[in-house]
Amino acid sequence: MNSISIQLKQLRILPVLVTNDTQQAIRCVTTMADNGLPLVEITLRTPNAIKIVQQVVRACPKVCVGVGTILNPQQLKQAQDAGAAFGISPGITSTLASAAAASAWPYIPGVGSASDVMLALQHGFHVMKLFPQDVIGGVNMAKAWAGPFPQVQLLLNGGVTQESVHELLHLPNVIGVGGSWICPTALVNANNWEQIGKLVRDAVASTK
């Protein structure tokens, strides 16, 4: 089991952070760690994302910092070079899955269909991000896949809320849930660390 799988098994929740500001990123990641979630996925959805990952990795050595929204092997390499502990994608291509498997770096491909799951398995991945779970029906999909894919563990992402965490985490083939509800862009931009701390504590309480 690789490092991100171990973290997910233990913490069950992966905060997804979207920001273009280094100081806000460091402050947000520190707040989440102080309140019980020393784990984060920083998405490659902003122009400074890679630079921010480098800085957060340096400033928060006790936090497991990953990179999300990896769409191609170039971004995979950038994320690795930035010092990230793991990578995640919203989907899967054979080119990207081959590059990730060859690098032996902790990586979670995205899946949305049984064919995606088969492609991921073919490349040796057993932990997969089911995205967008709110659109394709994460609960029913996870239940349906438990039959043909007993070796697969799912990370459910997309539209997860404080209200849905508990139900999703009770599915036996769900290793964890991820999402931005813990650190919404509006609260990050407003520097509202107190409220983010509360959201983290509420989320962590739902894992018990």
Q: Which residues make up the interface to ligand 3PG (CB under 6 A)?
A: 16, 43, 68, 90, 131, 157-160, 178-181
Closest distance to ligand 3PG from the beta carbon of 160 (Å): 6
If residue 94 lies in a helix (H) or strand (E), which one and from where to where? helix 94-103
| Closer by beta carbon to ligand 3PG, 40 or else 97 | 40
Closest distance to ligand 3PG from the beta carbon of 90 (Å): 6
CA atoms within 13 A on the CB side of 35: 24
Closest distance to ligand 3PG from the beta carbon of 41 (Å): 7
CA atoms within 13 A on the CB side of 180: 14
Report CA Rg, the chain. Answer: 16
Cα dihedral across residues 70, 23, 185, 63: positive or negative: positive
Largest Cα–Cα separation, the chain: 45
| Closer by beta carbon to ligand 3PG, 18 or else 26 | 18
Residues labelled as active-site residues = 41, 129
| Closer by beta carbon to ligand 3PG, 61 or else 110 | 110
Instruction: Return the residue nearest ligand 3PG (CB atom).
Output: 179
